[in-house]
Amino acid sequence: MQKWQPESWQTKTIRQIPDYPSAQALDATLSELANYPPLVTPLEIKRLKQQLANAAAGKAFILQGGDCAESFAECRTNNIINKTRILLQMSLILLYGLRKPIVRVGRIAGQFAKPRSEDVETRDGETLTTYRGDIINQPGFSAKERTPDPQRILTAYNYAARTLNLLRALGSGGFADLQHPENWDLDFMKHSPLAGEYHKLVDKIEDVISFIQSIPGMDAPELGRVDFFTSHEALLLPYEQALTHCIPDDNGTPFWYNLSAHLPWVGMRTADPDSAHIEYLRGINNPIAIKVGPRMTREWLLQLLDILHPDNEPGRITLIHRFGADTIKEQLPPMLDTVKASGKTVLWLCDPMHGNTEKTQDGIKTRRFDNILSELTQAFDIHVSEGTLLGGVHFELTGDNVTECTGGARGLSDKDLHKGYKSLVDPRLNYEQSLEMAMLIAKKFKG
């Protein structure tokens, strides 16, 4: 195998990274970015790796969630607060239901680049480069907006830094409203057949919190300081490379880290064993997540484990399966067997979103709450029957009241989708649907 360097990916097969009109302008931008301060630290990354290892051993549970694609326009105070709040509220519900520490990992502060199935888009006879996420180009349909612009890379860094700054402030401040579940916006309960149960759950959580707070000298660590980790798809490798730094550990041994996020992941479109993306990921010391979908073969998965997980280091590899409610039953067990036979330890997460995307009659991309829940429920059961462990869940969600996925307690229908459809890419669970999902997972565990 060739020697790894932060730029060695450039000699491999590069997919999903656009050609910039000026290589010079891109290089100038990247030199500038390389001097910017890191967004996360090796210490935090190692702490997350330990927690992922705990989850793989059944001692913690991962809640990963956020936008399909963050947009510059939504990097606003309220959007960030709402997103953070929903993840915290879900984690509290899961903590109560699962009785395990919940590790929160946002798809946040850098989830700006999207893999696309088509390189170009044609409208009324005009063909332009496809929209690839705000870090690359703009969604509007004009040649100017669709041309990849390196300046957007610096803008993305700035938005990621702003987002993280607020996240860190909210985390260290304890996020006061967590301690008052009675104030959560639970209006949707009125619409739910599970209303009674929800009220009971919220009452119980409130009761536990006030009990803990009533004990002198006793602090509820989950409520005082909340950890929040970041993740994104490590897709735009020039950005990832510029934020990759060599840091010696306590013994002076140098390690490379991607300091743009704690947990970078790779999607299947860029996960061929000889791809640029796998080459890049192999050399960094972050934990790595890999999406595992219907096209994955046993051989492919084993090759990825060979390349990315040679030392079987605890917490290093997370496999996020995303098959779809109709096929998970056939497709997940062979993957679980393959990993078992490899003798390697991984953390399994279920992404019940990406295998359940469909189009309505009007051509709107949506996902149905029941299909999402069905894939998740099946995933829990399959892991139990295969003797493996589902260590967490992965959602596309937002804390805002959008209408992108149908179903849920309020029974959103296809006709409701136009009311608040904001996603530029995939449909997300809204605030109510996310909270309901967390409650149903907690209930499933209790059951």
Instruction: Give the interface with Co ion as residue ranges (CB under 5 A).
Output: 68, 426
The answer to whether 134 touches 157, Cβ cutoff 8 Å, is no
Q: Cβ closer to ligand PEP: 68 or 135? A: 68
SS3 75: coil
238 binds, among ligand PEP, Co ion, none (CB under 5 to 8 A by kind): none
Tokens at 340, concatenated: 């078992």
Q: Cβ closer to ligand PEP: 46 or 232? A: 232
Q: Cβ closer to Co ion: 344 or 365? A: 365
The answer to whether 291 touches 260, Cβ cutoff 8 Å, is no
Least separation in angstroms between CB 112 and Co ion: 13
Taking the C-alpha atoms of residue 287 and residue 399, their distance in angstroms, rounded to an integer, is 27
Q: Which of residues 174-193 bind ligand PEP (CB under 6 A)?
A: none
139 binds, among ligand PEP, Co ion, none (CB under 5 to 8 A by kind): none
φ/ψ (deg, to 5) at 161: -65, -40
Least separation in angstroms between CB 427 and Co ion: 9
Among 93, 102, 184, 113, CA closest to 393: 102
Taking the C-alpha atoms of residue 41 and residue 440, their distance in angstroms, rounded to an integer, is 35
> What is the DSSP track for 355-380?
TS-EE-TT--EE-BHHHHHHHHHHHH
Q: Which residues pair with 237 in a beta bridge?
A: none
The answer to whether 377 touches 369, Cβ cutoff 8 Å, is no
Classify residue 404 as left (phi > 0), alpha (psi -120 to 50) or beta: alpha
Q: Cβ closer to ligand PEP: 212 or 424? A: 424
φ/ψ (deg, to 5) at 233: -75, 120
Selected from 6, 97, 110, 267, the binder of ligand PEP by CB under 6 A is: 267
Least separation in angstroms between CB 359 and ligand PEP: 16
Q: Cβ closer to ligand PEP: 222 or 240? A: 240
Least separation in angstroms between CB 258 and Co ion: 21
Q: Which of residues 49-68 bind ligand PEP (CB under 6 A)?
A: 68
Q: Cβ closer to Co ion: 316 or 394? A: 394
Least separation in angstroms between CB 108 and ligand PEP: 13
267 binds, among ligand PEP, Co ion, none (CB under 5 to 8 A by kind): ligand PEP
Q: Cβ closer to ligand PEP: 212 or 268? A: 268
Selected from 115, 273, 283, 314, the binder of ligand PEP by CB under 6 A is: 115
Least separation in angstroms between CB 3 and Co ion: 34
Tokens at 323, concatenated: 């098959």
Least separation in angstroms between CB 273 and ligand PEP: 17
Q: Which of residues 280-299 bind ligand PEP (CB under 6 A)?
A: 291, 293
6 binds, among ligand PEP, Co ion, none (CB under 5 to 8 A by kind): none
Least separation in angstroms between CB 276 and ligand PEP: 16
Task: Give Cα separations from 357 to 181, 363, 367, 378 (angstroms).
Answer: 32, 12, 5, 17
DSSP-H helix ranges across 113-218 = 143-146, 151-172, 195-214
The contact pattern for ligand PEP, residues 222-261, with x = CB under 6 A and - = no contact, is ----------------------------------------
φ/ψ (deg, to 5) at 247: -125, 125
The answer to whether 111 touches 69, Cβ cutoff 8 Å, is yes
Q: Is 428 in the site for ligand PEP (CB under 6 A)?
A: no
Tokens at 259, concatenated: 């300091």
Taking the C-alpha atoms of residue 243 and residue 39, their distance in angstroms, rounded to an integer, is 8
Residues that bind ligand PEP (CB under 6 A): 68, 115, 267-268, 291, 293, 322, 354
